Amino acid sequence: MNILVIEDELKLAQVTERFLRHHGYTVTLAASLAEAKTKLAHASFDAVLVDVRLPDGDGWSLVPGIKATVPAPVVFMLTSRGEADDRVFGLELGADDYLVKPVVLKELIIRLERALKQRSPVGRKLGDVTIDEKARRVQNGSDTVSLAKMEFELLVYFFEHMGEALTRDQILDEVWGYTFGGDTRTVDTHVKQLRDKLPTIKQQLKTVHRVGYRLEAIE
């Protein structure tokens, strides 16, 4: 999962980044409104944490544009402005949650994971690859790609764990299930099939030596 943290206080940004990375997230930092707009224009994110007060403007202005993208990321406002009117304003703009500083990072993770689980699964995207889980359809650019049932399930699993090093046993247990009687070569076979069918996956799905696989976001 990719998260953009928009925060101009360097120490706070770094602490938040380390905490999120520790929990398996890929994190990008932006310290200003202008930098945030550049990051948003050149990459897609699963969640965006927005500080309201930034050196060159306020974070409020970013929210409608972020929520208008498809698929729309989860947006959290993180700010010292805790008045009721500010919270209501942020939520009316489309923010999914509003946390007042100092933020308890454990609470942030709990709220963030809950919001990400509730996020519509339609339209997961990486480069040219888009997954529509409701329709069980995968597209490579404008072309629809035919995937077998377990190829599709494996691809979705990699998207859900973007940036994480996943062991073959872990993948086998969580995608095929604990009752599956096969071995880890099944994972390797299906990974090869995904790589053969989807050029973006071939490029971004890395083999982790002596571990398994990691699907990397496009920077």
pTM: 0.56
Q: Taking the domain 124-215, which CATH number applies?
A: 1.10.10.10
What pLDDT is recorded for position 82? 67
Q: Which residue has the tokens 């604990």?
A: 178
Torsional sign, CA 197, 176, 135, 43: negative
Task: Compute mean pLDDT per 10 residues along the chain, 219 residues long, and list them.
Answer: 92 94 91 94 90 90 85 87 76 87 90 78 77 86 92 93 91 80 86 96 95 89
In this predicted structure, what is the pLDDT of residue 180?
65
Residue 102 DSSP symbol: S
pLDDT at 29: 96
Q: Which pLDDT score, from 0 to 100, does residue 44 have?
A: 85
pLDDT score for 178: 58
Options 3.40.50.300, 3.90.1150.10, 3.30.1370.110, 3.40.50.2300; CATH of 2-118: 3.40.50.2300
Which residues, 6 or more positions from 161, have their beta carbon under 8 angstroms from its beta carbon? 1, 24, 215
Q: What is the distance between the alpha carbons of residues 51 and 203, in angstroms, rounded to a whole number?
A: 34
Which pLDDT belongs to residue 36? Answer: 95
Which pLDDT does position 23 carry in this prediction?
Answer: 86
Ranges for all domains in the chain classified under CATH 3.40.50.2300? 2-118
Q: Supply the pLDDT for residue 132.
A: 84
CA-to-CA dists, residue 125 to 6, 150, 168, 218, angstroms: 22, 19, 24, 10
Residues of the chain with CATH 1.10.10.10: 124-215
Query: According to the model, what pLDDT value does residue 152 have?
Result: 94
